[in-house]
Amino acid sequence: MVRFTLATDDPVLHDFAALVGSEGAVAVAGSRTRWSVGGELASGTRTISAPVGIVQHQPEEMIVTVRAGTTVADLHDELAAAGQRTALPQRGGTVGGAVAVGENCLDRLGRGSVRDAVLQVRFVNAHGQLVTGGGPVVKNVTGFNVPKLITGSLGTLGCIAEVILRTNPTPPKSRWLKADGAEPKKVFAALLHPAAVLWDGTTTWVHLEGHEADVDAETAMLASLGDFATCDGPPDLPAHRWRLSPSQIFRQCVSAPFVASVGVGTTWASVAQPKRPLDRGASVVAKRMKDTFDQDHRFNPGRCLWT
């Protein structure tokens, strides 16, 4: 059962709800860094902007309430003062855009997933109503399934106004290393808790985070697996995200340059992933979900979740 409630009174959010309205095709545009994901927006669709601002940061509770139009960079700058961060990728986009796309950061292994970080979402439904799903404390009666649905839905189920995110401590030590010819499977299996392991078919990158002694110990261990040396950071990522199971990245057929996130199942390639037919059962569920949240299909027309 999908559970959500009408949101509490907030003039900024209610102004946004009025902007969304209850008629006509509409889409929320953030920084447009991942605007092409899911297909092109149908012509004639009205685009609007989400509200901006960090409403409340509770470092002792490790949660932050932030409006969807806030950039991820601004959010992380604010959290850094308290030694915290979120799982959102910092690639020039907005909080709402990052949640809508549901794309994890490179440090998915260390920071966790975006979907798990979203505790509460306030969004405008197809009737122009501002509603809330989830809550700052995870309980089965709070509609925690709603944030899970909204995350990664490409704005096709509602217009995100505000979210409550789980934060986590920023590790005291961070180190990137890389080596040519190292076997990524062995590297991944040998590391206790890497923040990221990346591979482009030739070079393996490793991101280690934690206490300095632990990072140094893991660095020393890597010497037995390849000629690892420190580097400035990860490689530049190609434009297109491929969704694969973690085991598929080693047998994928990508004829173009790629960077794979080992143990995660995400690959970035310079060519788009071929479209795959949706499983019949999944298609039925997806259609039912869309019809439940957006009967007139007015949110982000043209976007398709399974492209």
Domains of the chain, residue spans: 5-169+281-293, 173-269
Q: Which two tokens stand for residue 223?
A: 């010497």
Statement: 5-169+281-293 belongs to CATH 3.40.50.360: no
Asked whether the domain spanning 173-269 has the same topology as the one spanning 5-169+281-293, the reply is no
Residue 294, CA distances (Å) to 2, 146, 301 in order: 14, 14, 11
Residue 280: the pLDDT is: 85
Whether residue 286 has pLDDT greater than 60: yes
Q: Identify how many contiguous H helices and E strands the chain contains and give both numbers.
A: 9, 17
Lowest mean pLDDT among 116-120, 231-235, 238-242, 245-249: 245-249
Distance CA 88, CA 77 (A): 13
Residues 52-89 have pLDDT tens digits of 999 999 999 999 999 999 999 999 999 999 999 999 99
Distance CA 294, CA 231 (A): 47
Distance CA 259, CA 199 (A): 6
* CA contacts within 13 A on the Cβ side of 244: 26
Q: In what order do the strands lie in the sheet with 229-231?
A: 229-231, 173-180, 203-210, 196-199, 258-261, 266-269, 240-243
Whether residue 227 has pLDDT greater than 70: yes
Residue 307: the pLDDT is: 46
pLDDT > 70: what percent of the chain? 93
Residues 127-167 have pLDDT tens digits of 999 999 998 876 555 566 899 999 999 999 999 999 999 99
Q: What is the mean pLDDT of the chain?
A: 90
What's the pLDDT band for 243 if we cut at 50, 70, 90? Answer: confident
Does 177 or 280 have the greater pLDDT score?
177
Among 3.30.70, 3.40.30, 3.10.20, 3.40.50, name the CATH number for the domain at 173-269. 3.30.70
Which residue has tokens 């920023």?
170
Residue 5: the pLDDT is: 59
